[in-house]
Amino acid sequence: MARRFGVESGIIGVTAAAVVSVVVAGALAFSNVGGPSKAEAEGVGSGQQKAKRAAAPVSPDLVHASDRPGRSLNITIDDGPSPVWTPKVLEVLKKYDVKAVFCMIGPQAEAHPDLVKKVVAAGHKLCDHTVSHNTAMDKKPQSYQSQEILDAQKMIEKASGGAQVEYYRAPGGAFTPYSRKLAADHGMRPLGWNIDSKDFEGGTVGRIESTVRGEIPTRSGPTVLFHDGGGDRSRTVDSLNRLLPWMQSQGFGFGFPQR
């Protein structure tokens, strides 16, 4: 009898424990109804960002035109960020209340995340300018182009703290149909230019200024190219200090390239 009682007691104990487990599990499940888990909650932001990009298809066609109606220009700044020149360019743009697109090289952005964040915080937009700035990109295999473009995009977005890279500009304009479509499929509009300041050629400030002034009235598109990286950009800073107020005096406003 004692043994029989012990077996029955064990059965009763197991049954009671099972009931308690079911009740606890049900309570836990009920407490999570309508709310994501911690892991799910942590992934909501990135998921929403990806969904937003997927919901807004981007054209693979090369863009020059401004999203601002009327007499408008797009200012674009390439090859940075540079710890020496990017802050100076930002100061000039702020002085004249002008927004620009900064076409950044991936490792430069990775090395100077504080500058990338400053660019974003000031209301400017980001552009992927590849990892190694190879001006023969159009002669390279698709696998190389893909790595250059997508790795740089990741570097720039990470350095920015998650801001979207909205444009892609091939070094030296070395676009291919593949690279344009790849960029567009990843939310980046291929960005060209049709007014080249030639500030990278080492000319005087006066020469840079006359080049831009001479091309603006005759060119059909409004995207102007300057640089904040790749060398001494003191002439670029001085040129922007002269050209931006002149552009405004000619009735130009400043927008961003169309998306």
Active site residues: 78, 227
Q: Which helix (H) or strand (E) covers residue 76, if one does?
A: strand 72-80
Q: Which of 224, 127, 124 is nearest to 167 (CA)?
A: 127
Q: Are 134 and 198 in contact (CB under 8 A)?
A: no
Beta bridge partners of 168: 128, 190
Give the count of alpha carbons within 13 A of 184, CB side only: 18
How far apart are the C-alpha atoms of 185 and 149, rounded to whole Å? 12
Q: Are 58 and 189 in contact (CB under 8 A)?
A: yes
